[in-house]
Amino acid sequence: MVRRLAERRFAAGQLRSLLPYAGRGLVAGTVAVHLVAGAAPIGFMVGTGLALQDLAGGGAGGWLALAAASFLVQQALAPLQLVLSRRVQRRVDAACIERLSSFALRGASLAGLEKPEVADRLSQADEAFEQWTLTPGAAVEGALALTARYTQLVGALVVLLVAVGPWPALAGAFVAVVARLGQTEAFNRWGHVIRDIRRLRRRAGYVRELATSTRAAKEIRTLGLVDWLDQRYVAEDQAVLDTLWTSRRRVYGAPFVGYALAALVGSVVALLVVARTDADVAQVSVAVQALILCGRFGVVFPEADVKLVYGRGAWQALLELEDIARREGATTGDASAGGAGAVTAPRRSVRLEGVQFGYRPDRPVLDELELELPAGTSTALIGVNGAGKTTLVKVLTGMYTPQGGSVLVDGTDLRTLDVDAWQRAFAITFQDYLRYELPLRENVAMGAIAHRDDDEGIRAELERVGLGDLLAELPAGLDTPLTRALPGGRDLSGGQWQRLALARSLFAVRHGASVLVLDEPTAQLDARGEAEFYDTFLDLTRGVTSLVISHRFSTVRRADRIVVLDAGRVTEVGTHDELVARGGQYARMFEVQARRFTAENDQEVAR
């Protein structure tokens, strides 16, 4: 009981922390309406009971007017209750969505978001806002709606006390409290069950999303995965349902029967006590109605109970997300603390000095890495898969904080700088670049969204990457949605999307980005597109500090410097000719790739 009371106080504290989002005036008005709406049924109960007595005695029926007025007030306030409650919910949810978005985009590090415990809670909070029914705002709405219910209960107990004495009132209070405790205890335990299986629900949701989205439709159909996916979803869903049904029997089985029996016994005793009193017909009629109202506290309150359990669960998930970020110290605010201010462009160099980083403590991905990127020069980075190339970029941009060593911008540790400002200095094309289901204009302007009205600049960069002909073909030009899911939309080929991603980065450079990072920039281009990229490489990277990651030596050989990364360390640095002459790892990798292209050319000549 002590534990449960502590949990109730904790839950009430969580809900109170949400009230400021709704606003004092709106909360006060909503509570006032709920109070009047809760008192109206008591007026109707008393009015009808006494009206029956008056009518039996030939009275004028004044109490009937009270009953009618109470009924009309209750009916008139019902829509107002709904409107005010929805407004409370929307205000709270708007603030919570902003808070969740801020956490996901700013409050948590990328490494933090990739943790399973964070992903589970983020999925739970995100799922609540997708449904728009069981949200933190709904929990606040439900808590305020209980005002009407408990106003009815207090009114019913007062009626019992006045009409038939203290003992029926005590019995009615016992019935209401026991029945309500049974419901709330069951709902509370059920809420714990839902939170405990969030990982199972996330897995089932992922499989369902695969089956219902167009993202994976091509592979699912061409590889004949429909039956397998169907079976996998059944298995994942069954795992959720089996857990739910097992837990439901435990939660709503014997404990619920015990509470129900106690409430039933209390109701029978209360009715017997009322029957043995000397009360008249009106008093008995009112008392029986009051006891029925007390007994109704054993049912689910649809306007409150489910919303409180699930909606508060979503709010608790959000609070736990923030708590995890605080405990880990993995926030961009922590990283940007310091007095050095913002650095928007390296003037001399960016240096990774003794950088140590790993996703697991016993498996470093970057191991005492030493690398310098001189300002205004192009550096190419090569290495086998798993060498740490993409991880290096994430550390360089401040997305990951080194576990050892430092990232120095003109000699200043990145930890003391404004990381947000530093990241805005980058123009990056990741290997897994995003394909926004937005118009062509926004897809390019995402590199510098504040300049999305620069149509001339957008067109110039599209021409620069070889998409001028595509732009001329699109029916709505820059306003054409790049998805077939929208009217007038059009999808692009893989190579066209890669060119567009390059245009996005170049647009960012046009508007002030000073560090260009290209991760496998020609992976989806055909031979002609790749050759065009090589021819314009020096022009694309001129004047900016650039880092190009590629497995294709025809790309990297044009860089000012080439860096070989192996097992998280830099093993070779130099120009293409220097590294080939050295006969090391780079020379061996170049020879293997050159031999393959030579063989392909020989086969082409033979044909």
Q: pLDDT tens digits for 158-182?
A: 988 888 888 888 888 888 888 888 7
Q: What percent of the chain has pLDDT over 70?
A: 87
Q: Say if residue 606's pLDDT is above 60.
A: no
* Residue 390 to residue 32: CA distance in whole angstroms: 58
Q: Mean pLDDT, to the nearest integer, of 364-385?
A: 88
Q: Mean pLDDT, to the nearest integer, of 115-131?
A: 70
Q: Say if residue 80's pLDDT is above 90.
A: yes
pLDDT of residue 343: 58
Of these ranges, 48-52, 122-126, 233-237, 285-289, the one predicted with the greatest mean pLDDT is 233-237
Q: Mean pLDDT, to the nearest integer, of 284-290?
A: 84
pLDDT of residue 330: 43
Q: pLDDT tens digits for 305-348?
A: 888 877 887 888 788 877 776 666 543 334 444 444 555 678 88
In degrees to the nearest 10, what's the CA dihedral of 184, 186, 187, 188? 80
Identify the residue with better confidence: 276 or 203.
Answer: 203
pLDDT of residue 1: 57
Q: Count CA within 13 A, CB hemisphere, residue 41.
A: 19
User: 279, 287 in Cβ contact below 8 A?
Assistant: yes
For CA atoms 415, 418, 420, 423, the dihedral sign is negative
| Domain covering 334-425+514-607: architecture | 3-Layer(aba) Sandwich (3.40)
Structure tokens at 195: 């939170």
Beta bridge partners of 515: 426, 545
Domain ranges of the chain: 2-328, 334-425+514-607, 436-512
Q: Mean pLDDT, to the nearest integer, of 65-91?
A: 91
What region does 99 belong to: left with phi over 0, alpha with psi -120 to 50, or beta? alpha
Could you tell me which CATH number the domain at 2-328 has? 1.20.1560.10
pLDDT of residue 333: 36
pLDDT of residue 376: 87
pLDDT of residue 155: 92
Closest CA to 168 of 262, 44, 275: 275
Closest CA to 451 of 532, 394, 507: 507
pLDDT confidence band for 261 (50 / 70 / 90): confident
Average pLDDT, the chain: 82
The CATH classification of domain 436-512, taken from the options 3.30.230.10, 3.40.50.300, 3.40.50.720, 3.40.50.880? 3.40.50.300
Identify the residue with better confidence: 321 or 89.
Answer: 89
Domains 2-328 and 436-512 equal at CATH topology level: no
User: 341, 163 in Cβ contact below 8 A?
Assistant: no
Of these ranges, 88-102, 128-142, 300-314, the one predicted with the greatest mean pLDDT is 88-102
Q: Say if residue 465's pLDDT is above 70.
A: yes
pLDDT of residue 30: 94
Give, as one character, the DSSP assignment of residue 439. B
Q: Mean pLDDT, to the nearest integer, of 36-45?
A: 91
User: 569, 389 in Cβ contact below 8 A?
Assistant: no
Specify the range with the lowest mean pLDDT, choosing from 59-63, 143-147, 433-437: 59-63
pLDDT of residue 40: 92
Q: Does the global pTM surpass 0.85?
A: no
* Residue 594 to residue 124: CA distance in whole angstroms: 51
Q: Mean pLDDT, to the nearest integer, of 412-419?
A: 86
Identify the residue with better confidence: 1 or 25.
Answer: 25
